[in-house]
């Protein structure tokens, strides 16, 4: 069947309950992750490409390969992506695997706009590692200590030496590198023009420095998952379910599953909240007003690639529902508001109340199998019957959901999650990617 542009607009209007689309603003998906600047293998470069771009970068910038802004981004990336050997990291929204040097090169590109290959990163790591080894030798007086240090360094990779993973060797921060307690937020700061003055790192082979007090150590999931200082999202799903021959069949449209992040996992990337203001209602209680009120660490964007390829037959026996789960440290009552927006206007809102249950030393809040509203069910039906995925995505450009979790007594915002959507083309079903919302 051939669909003209006029026909597609009629379908979009029908699905989103709007008669006029002239005022719609379609924003390019700036929050989609970009590809790797090089896309090859990783830390095992074995010195290949030591001369690749040794005199100039791929952009031909006159400052050279490691100008101050590039060096600053390089040092930030070292802090964000610890050495991982030949292991790869999978970015969930792309399904691609990246090694550490590729991620560092990718970070430099996103921060500075200048391309550096993973081989140039590898070469720079080796140069810095040799420099660090020479510094160690020059500061040791007796031969026994020098031999011991050389033996230890010989067993480390260039990435490990430069990343200073042995605290007894490098008790202080590297020159130009943030200390361990500094909060690194990618893309949330303006480009750097100059490097800070080098901080000398005293060499010591005595006892290890005392660990940081547990009271000031940030939880591992903070800055790596959807979590504010007071509440964390554990799981979220929207689904359809039916029973057939005494068996239950369930299809997930979108799903955020339980996660167990580690300190080696990268922190969330950031998106400017002002880029998505017009996708949500501007009336009282809208995203803009909530963000200005704060706290800013409670605001997130989730890009869903929804799985609409269900083989469950639609009918009276099908249940459409939403489940979510949260955890926190306080025994409070939460209010969960879910607002559906079409063309930036609120069309329906659902408010639910949930009480805390003490489990394993923390308070858990569960909203289990909350029925989906009639508007959403009809929207999904009409969306699934569009013949092409690009038509579905055209409709979804103007469809958003804003979920606000607040303390029912104080009205304090505990979590605010903005959901935007596309149709999944992956054989693995629904996908998602999380970003922190900032205003820089």
pTM summary value: 0.54
φ and ψ of 344, to 5 deg: 80, 5
For tokens 């569960």, the residue is: 366
Is 258 found in the same domain as 302? yes
* 82 touches 264 (CB < 8 A): yes
Select from 165, 195, 217 the last residue of a domain: 217
Torsion of CA 160, 51, 120, 101, to 10 degrees: -50
Is 261 found in the same domain as 183? no
68 in a structural domain: yes
Is 276 found in the same domain as 169? no
Q: What is the pLDDT along the chain (440 residues), one digit of tens a residue?
A: 434 434 443 444 444 433 333 333 333 333 433 343 443 344 444 433 333 444 344 444 444 568 888 888 888 888 777 776 655 665 545 556 778 888 888 888 888 888 888 888 888 888 888 887 777 777 766 666 666 666 665 666 665 555 554 343 333 444 333 433 333 334 443 443 344 444 444 444 445 555 544 445 578 778 899 999 999 999 999 999 998 878 889 999 999 999 888 888 889 999 999 999 999 988 888 999 999 999 999 999 999 999 999 878 777 789 999 999 999 999 999 999 999 999 999 999 999 999 999 999 999 999 999 999 999 999 999 999 999 999 999 999 999 999 999 999 999 999 999 999 999 998 889 999 999 999 97
Q: Domain range for residue 89? A: 34-217
Is 168 found in the same domain as 56? yes
Give me the number of domains the chain comprises. 2
15 in a structural domain: no
145 in a structural domain: yes
Is 272 found in the same domain as 137? no
339 in a structural domain: yes
29 in a structural domain: no
Is 58 found in the same domain as 143? yes
To the nearest 10 degrees (0 to 180), the angle between helices 143-154 and 118-139 is 160
Is 236 found in the same domain as 147? no
Query: Could you tell me the two tokens for 307?
Result: 């799985």
């Amino acid at each position: 069947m051939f669909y003209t542009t006029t026909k597609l607009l009629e379908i979009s209007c029908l699905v989103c309950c709007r008669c006029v689309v002239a005022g719609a603003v379609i924003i390019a998906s700036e929050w989609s992750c970009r590809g790797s600047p090089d896309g090859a293998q990783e830390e095992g470069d074995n010195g290949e490409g030591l001369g690749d771009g040794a005199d100039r970068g791929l952009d031909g910038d006159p400052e050279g390969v490691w100008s101050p802004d590039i060096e600053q981004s390089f040092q930030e990336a070292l802090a964000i992506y610890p050495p991982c050997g030949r292991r790869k990291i999978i970015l969930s929204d792309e399904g691609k695997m990246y090694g550490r040097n590729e991620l560092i090169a990718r970070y430099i590109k996103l921060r500075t706009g200048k391309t550096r290959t993973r081989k140039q990163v590898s070469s720079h790591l080796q140069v810095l590692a040799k420099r660090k080894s020479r510094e160690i030798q020059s500061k040791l007086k007796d031969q026994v200590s020098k031999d011991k240090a050389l033996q230890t360094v010989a067993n480390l990779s260039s990435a490990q030496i430069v990343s200073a993973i042995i605290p007894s060797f490098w008790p202080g921060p590297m020159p130009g590198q943030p200390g361990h307690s500094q909060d690194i937020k990618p893309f949330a700061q303006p480009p750097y023009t100059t490097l800070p003055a080098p901080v000398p790192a005293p060499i010591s082979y005595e006892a290890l420095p005392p660990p940081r007090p547990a009271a000031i150590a940030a939880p591992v999931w903070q800055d790596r998952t959807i979590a504010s200082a007071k509440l964390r999202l554990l799981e979220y799903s929207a689904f359809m379910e039916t029973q057939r021959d005494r068996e239950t069949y369930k299809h997930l449209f979108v799903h955020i599953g339980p996660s167990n992040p580690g300190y080696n996992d990268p922190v969330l990337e950031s998106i400017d909240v002002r880029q998505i203001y017009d996708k949500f209602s501007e009336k009282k209680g809208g995203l803009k007003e909530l963000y200005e009120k704060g706290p800013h660490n409670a605001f997130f964007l989730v890009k869903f690639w929804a799985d609409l390829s269900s083989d469950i037959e639609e009918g009276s026996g099908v249940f459409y529902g939403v489940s979510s789960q949260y955890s926190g440290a306080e025994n409070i009552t939460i209010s969960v508001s879910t607002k559906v927006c079409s063309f930036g206007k609120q069309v329906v809102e659902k408010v639910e109340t949930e009480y805390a249950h003490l489990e394993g030393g923390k308070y858990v809040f569960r909203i289990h199998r909350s029925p989906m509203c009639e508007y959403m069910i009809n929207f999904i039906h009409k969306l699934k019957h569009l013949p092409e995925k690009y038509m579905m995505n055209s409709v979804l450009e103007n469809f958003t959901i804003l979920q606000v979790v607040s303390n029912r007594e104080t009205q304090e915002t505990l979590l605010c999650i903005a959901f935007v959507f596309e149709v999944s083309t992956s054989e693995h079903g629904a996908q998602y990617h999380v970003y922190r919302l900032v205003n820089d």
